[in-house]
Amino acid sequence: KRDPCIQGERTMQQGFLSLPDGHPAMMAMGDPNSKQEKLDPEEEKKRKHSFATFSSAESSNESFVPYYCFACGSFVMAVDGRLHQMPRRKTDAAIVLDAKKRLKHRLHQGECKTLKREGGVEKQYRWHCTCGVPVSYQSSEWSSECNFVYVIDCSLALNPSIVSLYWREEGRVLPECMAVREEEDGKGETLVVQIEIVPEMKRFGIAKFEDKMVVEVASTVVGGDMKEANSEAVKGVTKVLGSSSKQVKLDLGAGALIINGISSKDAMRRIVCAMH
């Protein structure tokens, strides 16, 4: 399928697509330690409180979901639905968000970037968080109507407290539940993630990512049969990671997910962004 962001036919410059290690948002903010905003518990409470007031006044919609900047933890946008269930672009793994589902935002007009892509040129009209980090873009001018907005990979998170935890030094080492197996012949790494699946919850979600990854699912268990719950968990995590169904398998014996095709860093950031 044609990528709607890419216009025209031009040759690709080799090497252009290989992003340096680390997320665009992180590169934009430079050294995360120097700019890190310390969230003390009082401040966090205030933030949550102010959003609660805002959300009840602005919307009666139950699916109104607030998202926060992964760099600074400020409120960025409210979405009708959950970003980790939406499709991603193949090019840069940005989340494709139906513009009608971006209900409310505190984004600032950023710069217009022109990128060379395979098969053409792409213009990104970027939106920045109040901290200056680019978090989203669209393919036509800021003031124009567009069908889709793109959320930059790992730029927004569901839970601002998890974000502040992540940026503390110890939060960035891999959690206990995730082991990395280096594959031979440069075939990359396989991730082995210890998982616990909790059925009969309100919806799919990731509740914990420490000694175990605790995945909640809506599926019910009839007569002790976890088959449906397991399958919902695997599908949900596959979406979170932006992987394909071939890349994520459940090893029932080991109680672990076996994940291929994604680095441990990317997997960890995407999981952290989706945690509630």
Contact residues toward Zn ion (CB under 5 A) are 69, 71-72, 129, 131, 133
Kindly tell me the burial class for residue 252, based on how many C-beta atoms sit within 10 Å of its own C-beta (0-12, 13-18, 19 or more): exposed
Whose CA is closest to 16, among 155, 120, 152? 120
Q: How far is the CB of 35 from Zn ion (least distance, A)?
A: 10
Q: How far is the CB of 26 from Zn ion (least distance, A)?
A: 11
Identity of the residue, 75 or 204, whose beta carbon is nearer to Zn ion in the bound complex: 75
Tokens of 207: 């509740």
Distance of alpha carbon 67 from alpha carbon 112, whole angstroms: 23
Q: How far is the CB of 83 from Zn ion (least distance, A)?
A: 16
Cβ pair 138, 128 in contact under 8 A = no
Identity of the residue, 133 or 259, whose beta carbon is nearer to Zn ion in the bound complex: 133
Identity of the residue, 129 or 272, whose beta carbon is nearer to Zn ion in the bound complex: 129
Identity of the residue, 70 or 125, whose beta carbon is nearer to Zn ion in the bound complex: 70
Q: How far is the CB of 57 from Zn ion (least distance, A)?
A: 23
Cβ pair 259, 241 in contact under 8 A = yes
Exposure of 122 in the CB half-sphere (CA atoms within 13 A): 22
Identity of the residue, 108 or 116, whose beta carbon is nearer to Zn ion in the bound complex: 108
Identity of the residue, 93 or 129, whose beta carbon is nearer to Zn ion in the bound complex: 129
Q: How far is the CB of 8 from Zn ion (least distance, A)?
A: 33
Q: How far is the CB of 256 from Zn ion (least distance, A)?
A: 34
- In this chain, which residue has its C-beta nearest to Zn ion? 69
Beta strands 213-216 and 189-198 are parallel
Cβ pair 47, 75 in contact under 8 A = yes
